[in-house]
Amino acid sequence: MILSAALAGVLLLAPIGTRYAARAEEPLVSCKAAYLSDFDSGTEAYALHETERLPIASMCKIMTLLLGFEAAEEGELSYDEMIPVSENASGMGGSQVFLGSGLSYPAEELMKSIAVCSANDSCVALAERIAGSESLFVEKMNERARELGAENTLFANCTGLPKEPQYSCAKDVALMLRELLKHQKYFEFSRVWFEDFRHPDGRTTSMTNTNKLIRFYDGCDGGKTGFTNQAGFCLAATAKRGEMRLISVVIGAESSAARFEGVKSLLNYAFAAFESRKLLEAGAPIGERLAVRGCKQREIEVCAETPLALFCRKGEEPDADVEIRLDGSVKPPFGKGTPVGEAVLYRSGVEVARCRLLAAEAAEKFSWGEAYREIASKWN
């Protein structure tokens, strides 16, 4: 059964790449590449050489963290398990927390050190735990990038330290950060400004967040910096104000100050010029009910699995609709949260995305006696 309902303005989880026409008020950003998008929909708001393949330095740790969170949520890794540190991991140069070879650390603390201070040694220790070796972990990184549609990304290590060939682009970095931000536990780490990292042998290493916008930009609560001589100064950051969360990426700025100013100017531009209009809230009834046969309830409430939001310029009224498709073949018994359909999203008549619809309540099957009475009542 397919039911349709037209709602004012729709956009959800659109593929990153929808481009708004350039406007005179767009900011000028001094860097090799930049990208700005909405988190809820992935809609592009600004782009500069967004698909150019460039080194991204430590921003590749966005993927390292993403695989760590996914491993934990899939039960392959527990946050409190102790991870032994190899001589290879402890010997990483660059940013580090000086892990002790042969010592063991909680997985959660290693992941926190990656998010806060970009610890290369923690990256390798985590990679070796998840995949057995860094090289096998890199294979997982590239596989996940392909699954996400990051067509201009190739990883050679899990740290971003110089090694050929490896590259990404501003658009792909935004896509990967968007996926990472779906893991709420990430924000427990990304919001940390300063903290001591404690070692099993009694030492402590002070960690300060490399993303200065965490402290100095209203609404910023996550992101990843990067720097090598080859990549220049890089930053991917997210900020949320009200109902709108944005993702901003700058690659190849000439100074650390320039990358922060570039990301800030992009965020300021979007917060001033755009808005996010929530149409369906995650878990909230959508207004359509699913008819169910052989069930005590003749109809059940249906809700959206994820928010449905329209990201658009302030004052804009785009031609957008959502079609509600409910699956009449779903038979009881089934529990709350069971997929029962989807919402298909259109803009100017073209499908832009879709999301699952879930049962907002359980559906209990008739007992034999109840089924008999139901049939008898219809017969009469």
276-334: pLDDT as tens digits: 887 777 888 888 888 887 666 778 899 999 877 778 898 888 787 888 999 878 888 88
pLDDT for 355:
82
What residues contact 185, with CB distance under 8 A and at least 6 apart?
69, 72, 79
Question: What pLDDT is stored for residue 206 in this prediction?
Answer: 97
- Order of strands, sheet of 33-38, starting from the edge strand that comes earlier in the sequence: 44-48, 33-38, 244-253, 232-241, 220-228
47-66, pLDDT tens digit by residue? 999 999 999 999 999 999 99
- For the chain, what is the mean pLDDT? 87
In angstroms, the CA 366 to CA 198 distance is 58
Percent of the chain scoring above 90 in pLDDT: 66
> What average pLDDT does range 186-208 have in this prediction?
97
Q: Cβ distance 326 to 302 under 8 Å?
A: yes
Among 41-45, 97-101, 188-192, 208-212, the range scoring the smallest mean pLDDT is 41-45
What is the model's pLDDT at position 18?
39
Region 255-263: what's the mean pLDDT? 97
pLDDT at 1: 34
Q: Are 310 and 10 in contact (CB under 8 A)?
A: yes
Structural domains in the chain plus CATH codes = 33-274 (3.40.710.10), 281-379 (2.60.410.10)
- Catalytic positions, written as ranges: 58, 61, 118
Q: What is the pLDDT of residues 101-114, one digit of tens each?
A: 999 999 999 999 99
What mean pLDDT is predicted for residues 34-38? Answer: 96
Query: How high is the pLDDT of residue 329?
Result: 82
